[in-house]
Amino acid sequence: MSQTVVPLGKGVDGIFIENHRFNTTLVSFHFFLPLSAENLAADALLPYLLTSCSKDFPDYTALNKKLFSLYGAELSCQASKRGDNLHLRISIVVINDKFALDGTSIVKKATNLLTSLIFNPSVKNGAFSDEDVKREKRKTMERIEGEINDKRSFAKTRLLNEMFLPDPYGIFTYGTVEDVSRLDSKTLYSAWQRLLKSAYVRVNVVGEKFPEGLFETLKENFAKIERNDITDPEKTTPLKTRKEVKVVEERYNVTQGKLSMGFSSETYGQGVKTFPLLLATDIFGGGPYSKLFTNVREKQSLCYYCSASSVRQKGFMVVSSGIDDKNAERVIDAVLKELSAVQNGDFEEFALNASKKAITDSLNAYYDSSVALDAWYGTNFSKEEILTPEAAIEAINNISKEEIMNAAKGLKLHTVYKLLSQEE
């Protein structure tokens, strides 16, 4: 079932995703701002600051008390990269009105709270509270420093650093510790103003009943703001190919080495046109039917794990593996051999069918969670018709083996990152 996009202002759209399977209603704001090395740290910290307090609820204790009065409504936020943009999400989930004991509209109260957090934060004299900023800066720096503790994730982060810099896509989502440490109350106030004035905004509502008056209120709020230079949420600059593969080796105090291989792709963007790359990546390094799992990990026992994932919006694929240092070159050769097999169509019908089944099952699972539906429609853009999970399933099932081979042929090794144990 297609969803109707409702214009709420210049560069602001809303969607109501009706679903009667949930006992809750979710309202979510998705903001898209250009990725910028200069602004990344401030922009990524902003949703955490906005959901910690507001003018009406000046500290977390007051805010938490309000959430408790709304039958335990849950606030959440997230920052991530998408194409050439930073994607910020701020949402609230609350029980449906029919479960309220006093007959009041809990959903309306929750949406009012969410909009007040975004439009009326705790600011004074053109700045946020120094105490609030200091707290969120500390949390963000801990988040950045904690990345190195997960060596698998850290290896992928370092790979992207090397693949994309100076493109800001290569910077960690929350910036660097140095960037965050330089933030102050006025800088974040400017970031909030920039968010309201120039971000593309998608507002999603997932539930069995639409909150009365929500879109009208949002229209009024955004009408008061002079919005210019609206971000294009679909803008993306694909990763360029390299004439020579870049190899980076670093050593840490680890017992298991990590090998991350980055590939550029001729397929990029969003929508149905990128689905052959999705299938090619899955057949290559997805489930237990994949080439990397059955051959590199199981038959040859060259690594502890070995899998592939693609970021179709930006046009690249990453292979991540845990290895013994001595096997690094053998793993690289084995991975390239299996990719060549997929490019040449050397994969069984069983693997193709298993891959389609796995992907379509995951698409069907979007209807099992309001958060998943919100994620789907929060990053799904079209000037014509919004792609639904059902339409995506139909498109996946119609993709041919030749289309998968062609997508795989567009993958070229770009960068290799080795995280190895320290030499004695």
8 A C-beta contact, residue 302 and residue 257: no
For residue 416, being part of any structural domain is answered with yes
Q: Could you give phi then psi for residue 227, rounded to 5 degrees?
A: -100, 125
Is residue 233 domain-resident? no
CATH of the domain at 367: 3.30.830.10
Residues 207 and 350 in one domain: no
Kindly state whether residue 58 falls inside one of the protein's structural domains. Answer: yes
Segment 42-52, tens digit of pLDDT: 999 999 999 99
Q: Report percent pLDDT > 70 for the chain.
A: 98
- Determine, yes or no, domain membership for 239: no
Residues 291, 374 within the same domain: yes
Q: Which domain holds residue 302?
A: 246-421
On whether residue 152 sits in a domain, the answer given is yes
- Rounded distance between C-alpha atoms, residue 173 and residue 270, angstroms: 21
pLDDT digits (tens, 9 = 90+) for 83-119: 999 999 999 999 999 998 888 899 999 999 999 999 9
Between the CA atoms of 19, 21, 22 and 23, what dihedral angle is there, to the nearest 10 degrees? 110
The domain tally of the chain equals 2
User: What is the mean predicted confidence (pLDDT) over 257-265?
Assistant: 97
pLDDT value, residue 88: 98
- Edge-first strand order for the sheet with 24-34 is 5-9, 12-18, 200-207, 24-34, 85-95, 74-82
Residues 150 and 33 in one domain: yes
Question: What's the confidence (pLDDT) of residue 1?
Answer: 47
196 and 256 both lie in a single domain: no
Query: 37 and 148: one domain?
Result: yes
Residue 197 shares a structural domain with residue 283:
no
pLDDT the model gives residue 382 = 66
**AA identity, residue 269:** G
**pLDDT per residue as tens digits for the range 380-423:** 886 556 889 999 999 999 999 999 999 999 999 999 999 999 86
Q: What is the mean pLDDT of residues 349-378?
A: 95
pLDDT tens digits, residue range 198-242?
Answer: 999 999 999 999 998 999 999 999 999 999 999 999 999 999 999
Q: Residue 397's CB: how many other CB atoms inside 10 A?
A: 12
Give me the pLDDT at residue 153, please: 93
Does residue 108 sit within a domain? yes
pLDDT of 151 > 50? The answer is yes
**pTM: predicted TM-score of the whole model, two decimal places:** 0.94
Pairing type for strands 257-264 and 5-9 reads: unpaired
Residues 183 and 92 in one domain: yes
Same domain, residue pair 212 and 281: no
Tokens of 390: 């059902």
Q: What is the mean pLDDT of the chain?
A: 94
Do 61 and 146 lie in one domain? The reply is yes
How many beta carbons lie within 10 A of that of residue 224, not counting itself? 9
Query: Distance (Å, rounded) from C-alpha 111 to C-alpha 90?
Result: 12
pLDDT of 147 over the 90 cut? no
Residue found by looking up tokens 């290559």 in the block: 284
DSSP state of 170: G
Do 202 and 155 lie in one domain? The reply is yes
Task: Please state the rounded mean pLDDT for residues 249-275.
Answer: 95
Classify residue 229: in a domain, yes or no: no
381 and 234 Cβ atoms separated by less than 8 Å: yes
Q: Is residue 238 part of a domain?
A: no
Question: Are 189 and 323 part of one and the same domain?
Answer: no
Same domain, 121 and 196: yes
